[in-house]
Amino acid sequence: MNQTVESAAAELLRREDDRVDGEPLTDTWPDLDLDTAYAIQDETLRLRLTRGEALIGVKLGLTSRAKQQRMNVDSPLVAWLTDAMALPQGVPAPPLIHPRVEPEIAFVMGRRLSGPGVTAATAISAVDSVLAGLEIIDSRYRDFRFTLPDVVADNASSGAFVTGSVHRSPGDLNLALEGCVLSSGSSIVHTATGAAVQGHPAEALALAANTLGRRGKRIEAGWIVLTGGVTDAVPLEMSVSVEFTHLGRLTVGS
């Protein structure tokens, strides 16, 4: 089993590096379960760290009903963020396989958060600041076709992300009502509020802490947490921007 996990992790990272896609793991490994998929994800992280990347946070995937319905899955998931995925504002996105962009409410952690048993209230009390985010998701699977274990193994379709310069205290905002407008080019394509993310982004943060806690892991102070797409993602075929009510505006693409 360990050899299979190592082989799957190396293959997914090879596809990412070479910018090629392929068939889901479950096409040839139909009994792949979530525990093994997370083992693949963790092995991929080990390979990233070995080649010099630094772990800087976590991301949640499929936290909104819109995303779950699009991807035909019914459960959120947690994955890793490294410094190689972080883009400064104004820097073009790196070449990816089939990039899509989604708006995120991001947290910068003020203290360590360790599950299980974390509530939304406990989670939000550990947050130092809230800021806008845009995540550029990608997939190493052809046509974004995958099952839940496939996408867990693929680090929740990680690609790149950018965060805004407006930092707000979580106590100053009603994050469930924080609105965002997502535009592709000059056209508005989606609108939503923070309630689309598990009812409140703090619920997503608690979910991340508890999911990691069951695996003996935790969220560290100073980490960035992307709480999940507030809306469905749009293809990165032109500039994509998001305007939040209180967290400012962000743009990626030309």
> pLDDT tens digits, the chain, 254 residues: what are they?
587 999 999 999 999 999 999 999 999 999 999 999 999 999 999 999 999 999 999 999 888 766 667 666 666 899 999 999 999 988 888 899 999 999 999 999 999 999 999 999 999 999 999 999 999 999 999 998 999 999 999 999 999 999 999 999 999 999 999 999 999 999 999 999 999 999 999 999 999 999 999 999 999 999 999 999 999 999 999 999 999 999 999 999 86
Confidence (pLDDT) at 3? 79
Say which CATH number the domain at 167 has: 3.90.850.10
Q: State the DSSP code for 90.
A: T
| Residue 116 preceded by cis peptide, ω within 30 | yes
Q: How many domains does the chain have?
A: 1
Distance between CA atoms of residues 141 and 151, nearest Å = 9
Q: How many CB atoms lie within 10 A of CB 83?
A: 12
Q: Which domain holds residue 119?
A: 2-252
Confidence (pLDDT) at 2? 83
- Quote the Cα angle for 160-11-66, to 5°: 45
Confidence (pLDDT) at 106? 98
C-alpha pair distances (Å), 18 with each of 11, 95, 161: 10, 10, 19
59 and 80 in contact (C-beta within 8 Å)?
yes
Report H helices in 51-86: 65-71
Confidence (pLDDT) at 62? 80
Confidence (pLDDT) at 81? 98
What is this structure's pTM? 0.95
Distance between CA atoms of residues 21 and 16, nearest Å = 8
Confidence (pLDDT) at 93? 87
